[in-house]
């Protein structure tokens, strides 16, 4: 049946969202991510019958494939543990499936469907040939020994390896999956297949990893922020920045902000935030990297070590700042927090995490004409350097740090340009609209080329 041309944009939006919610009940994060995209794509395709009649958005919101499996492993006391593992292969129109794995107790299908949908747009924005996927498990790495994490990763990969491959689907890290987990996952894949291929990115430098991959997401989100500021004739130097999280994305965002002359005054984890009015410096950041990656401790230890205040159970958005970078998790800025940021004079937000800002909070930022960089554009640097890791693996060479930094900087600048091209709205830039439309076009055109599949 072809598209009902008598429907207005509003009626089409209502019809589309009703259908999505009916087919995917109780998956609120997935509904949220799709709603945010549909709000800009449905009016845009309304006047473009080619995309409309081919039902591209409907097809993009139905993942190509969802794999779900039981993961059994034994803890250090010999108890049998059972977790659930997933891989959501959302769309491979423009390249093999690509996206991270998340190990966190909150992981469910809704989380991974939203993340794989976002990933499809993000990967398209990088300009590299990568489709969208995401996977993970409700396994909670906190408090587990290295041996337990190893046994879990080996069990997880044993169930997943049949579904991935260097030209099929290439996982990487995300929350709870860092260098240690990637090592165990890749090692098990190699053992099971007897092949050494670029099937995972974020690998150690000794076994096929890429320079700049660990820094790429945080650095990229700061580069995007820098380009937004430049667009409005502003500079990074001297700005005060508030960051949430203290993991991979947050720490390297902090490092690049500091290098560009901004003052970073907060970091957080799931137990609260620290406020350091003097700002982080290299020594303090090294302390955090060791705390989080080696000792696996809590951010409250920063407060004890450097004699600053720790705010248990709170998020950092009430601390006055010029720049805000949510780098922890989804839905970590609500409407009230957005209003406080605006009231305190914040001029720009760059999302290091995926979908950290609730939709109502995005509206607050947009009404206040604050510069707002949505995650699918701002944090695309990580997967972009993953794409470069894939290229290096295929060529069996390693590029230098300078070369990779240059490519990352160029890719972020190009994403910014494309958001400006598709998001210009009078004297302001709607980066949400720009990122959605720019990401959509490439995937949609590839899908049109394939016909009805
Ligand atoms: P890490 O596991 O390295 O760090 C996550 C950080 O966020 C930790 O400080 C963690 O605190 C905090 N956090 C996680 N969940 C919650 C929660 N529910 N409430 C409060 N704090 C929380 O992950 P990454 O830095 O890799 O990922 C952070 C975000 O960036 C995620 O949204 C991820 O999807 C996104 N991202 C990551 C990329 C990458 O390359 N790694 C690429 C693009 C996006 P605690 O330790 O207490 O749990
Ligand atoms: O959300 C993301 O873009 C990531 N977690 C990185 C994915 C990747 O394949 O590098």
Among 172, 219, 379, the mutation site with the greatest number of ligand 2 atoms within 8 A of its Cβ is 172
Q: Is residue 438 part of a domain?
A: no
The 3-state secondary structure of 3-34 reads CCCCCCHHHHHHHHHHHHHHHCCCCHHHHHHH
pLDDT digits (tens, 9 = 90+) for 238-292: 999 999 999 999 999 999 999 999 999 999 999 999 999 999 999 999 999 999 9
Q: Are residues 102 and 246 in the same domain?
A: no
Which protein residue's CA is at the shortest distance from atom 4 of ligand 2? 100
CA angle (151 as vertex; 149, 155 as ends), nearest 5: 115
> Does position 172 have pLDDT exceeding 70, yes or no?
yes
Sheet holding 132-137, edge to edge: 65-74, 80-91, 132-137, 97-103, 169-172
Beta carbons of 99 and 172 less than 8 angstroms apart: yes
User: What pLDDT is attached to residue 427?
Assistant: 87
Q: Are residues 191 and 75 in the same domain?
A: yes
Q: Is residue 69 part of a domain?
A: yes
pLDDT digits (tens, 9 = 90+) for 11-57: 999 999 999 999 999 999 999 999 999 999 999 999 999 999 999 99
Q: Is residue 410 part of a domain?
A: no
Backbone angles phi, psi at 160, to 5 degrees: -95, -25
2 confidence band (pLDDT: 50, 70, 90): low
Cα 406 to Cα 315: distance, rounded to the nearest angstrom: 34
Q: Are residues 374 and 314 in the same domain?
A: yes
386 C-alpha to center of ligand 1: Å?
17
Hey, what long-range contacts does 19-27 have (CB within 8 A, 24 or more apart)? 19/58, 20/61, 23/62, 24/110, 24/113, 26/110, 27/109, 27/110, 27/113, 27/114
Residue 383 Cβ inside 6 Å of ligand 2? The answer reads: yes
Q: Are residues 239 and 360 in the same domain?
A: yes
Domain boundary among 60, 76, 99: 60
Q: Is residue 392 part of a domain?
A: no
**Lowest mean pLDDT across 16-20, 226-230, 426-430:** 426-430
Domain boundary among 154, 169, 196: 196
Cα 289 to Cα 190: distance, rounded to the nearest angstrom: 29
Tokens 């005060």 sit on residue? 240
Q: Is residue 420 part of a domain?
A: no
Q: Are residues 113 and 98 in the same domain?
A: yes
71 C-alpha to center of ligand 1: Å?
23
Which residue segment(s) compose the domain that 20 sits in? 9-60
Is 134 a known active-site residue?
yes
> Does position 435 have pLDDT exceeding 60, yes or no?
yes
**Which ligand 1 atom sits closest to the C-alpha of 352?**
30
pLDDT digits (tens, 9 = 90+) for 58-112: 999 999 999 999 999 999 999 999 999 999 999 999 999 999 999 999 999 999 9
Angle between helices 380-395 and 213-231 (to 10 degrees): 130
Query: Which CATH number belongs to the domain containing residue 111 in this structure?
Result: 3.40.50.10860
* Integer angstrom CA distances of residue 183 from 74, 172, 188, 294, 394: 19, 11, 9, 15, 19
Residue 220 Cβ inside 6 Å of ligand 1? The answer reads: no
**Which ligand 1 atom sits closest to the C-alpha of 250?**
25
> Does position 294 have pLDDT exceeding 90, yes or no?
yes
Residue 99 Cβ inside 6 Å of ligand 2? The answer reads: yes
Q: Are residues 366 and 300 in the same domain?
A: yes
Residue 174 Cβ inside 6 Å of ligand 2? The answer reads: yes
Residue 247 Cβ inside 6 Å of ligand 1? The answer reads: yes
Domain count along the chain = 3
Annotated active-site residue in 98, 122, 134, 292: 134
Cα 67 to Cα 50: distance, rounded to the nearest angstrom: 32
327 C-alpha to center of ligand 1: Å?
6
Q: Is residue 419 part of a domain?
A: no
Cα 304 to Cα 310: distance, rounded to the nearest angstrom: 9
Q: Are residues 14 and 100 in the same domain?
A: no
Q: Are residues 56 and 87 in the same domain?
A: no
Query: Which CATH number belongs to the domain containing residue 255 in this structure?
Result: 3.40.50.720
Q: Are residues 56 and 104 in the same domain?
A: no
User: What pLDDT is attached to residue 5?
Assistant: 79
User: What pLDDT is attached to residue 3?
Assistant: 66
100 C-alpha to center of ligand 2: Å?
5
Q: Are residues 156 and 192 in the same domain?
A: yes
pLDDT digits (tens, 9 = 90+) for 177-187: 999 999 999 99
Residue 385 Cβ inside 6 Å of ligand 1? The answer reads: no
Q: Are residues 226 and 308 in the same domain?
A: yes
Q: Are residues 267 and 350 in the same domain?
A: yes
Residue 172 Cβ inside 6 Å of ligand 2? The answer reads: yes
């Amino acid at each position: 049946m072809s598209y009902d041309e008598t429907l207005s944009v509003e009626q089409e939006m209502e019809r589309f969202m009703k259908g999505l919610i009916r087919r995917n009940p109780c998956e609120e994060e997935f509904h949220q991510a799709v709603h945010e995209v549909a709000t800009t794509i449905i009016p845009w395709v309304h006047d473009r019958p080619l995309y409309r009649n081919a039902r591209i958005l409907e097809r993009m919101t139905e993942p190509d494939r969802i794999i779900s499996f039981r993961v059994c492993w034994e803890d250090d006391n010999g108890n049998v543990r059972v977790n659930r593992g997933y891989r959501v292969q959302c769309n491979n129109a423009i390249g093999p499936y690509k996206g991270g794995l998340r190990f966190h107790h909150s992981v469910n299908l809704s989380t991974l469907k939203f993340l794989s949908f976002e990933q499809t747009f993000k990967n398209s924005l990088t300009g590299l040939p990568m489709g969208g996927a995401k996977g993970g498990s409700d396994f909670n790495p906190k408090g587990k020994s290295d041996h337990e994490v190893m046994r879990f990763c080996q069990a997880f990969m044993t169930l997943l390896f049949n579904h991935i491959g260097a030209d099929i689907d290439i996982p990487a890290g995300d929350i709870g999956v860092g260098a240690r987990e990637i090592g165990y996952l890749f090692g098990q894949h190699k053992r099971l297949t007897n092949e050494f291929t670029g099937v995972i990115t974020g690998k150690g430098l000794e076994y096929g990893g890429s320079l700049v991959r660990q820094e790429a997401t945080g650095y990229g989100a700061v580069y995007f922020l820098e380009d937004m500021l430049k667009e409005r004739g502003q500079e990074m130097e001297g700005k005060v920045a508030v960051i949430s999280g203290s993991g991979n994305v947050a720490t390297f965002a902090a490092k690049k902000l500091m290098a560009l002359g901004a003052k970073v005054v907060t970091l957080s984890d799931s137990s609260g935030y620290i406020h350091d009015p003097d700002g982080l410096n290299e020594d303090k950041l090294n302390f955090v990297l060791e705390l989080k990656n080696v000792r696996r401790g809590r951010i409250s230890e920063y407060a004890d070590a450097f004699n600053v205040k720790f705010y248990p159970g709170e998020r950092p958005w009430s601390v006055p700042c010029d720049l805000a970078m949510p780098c922890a998790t989804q839905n970590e800025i609500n409407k009230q927090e957005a209003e406080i940021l605006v009231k305190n004079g914040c001029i720009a937000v760059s999302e290091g995490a995926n979908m950290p800002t609730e939709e109502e909070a995005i509206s607050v930022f947009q009404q206040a004409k604050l510069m707002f960089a949505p995650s699918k554009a701002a944090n695309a640097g990580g997967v972009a350097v993953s794409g470069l890791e894939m290229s290096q693996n295929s060529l069996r060479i390693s590029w230098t740090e300078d070369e990779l930094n240059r490519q990352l900087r160029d890719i972020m600048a190009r994403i910014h340009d494309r958001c400006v091209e598709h998001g210009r709205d009078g004297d302001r830039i709607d980066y949400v609209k720009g990122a959605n439309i720019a990401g959509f076009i490439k995937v949609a055109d590839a899908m049109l080329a394939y016909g009805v599949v």
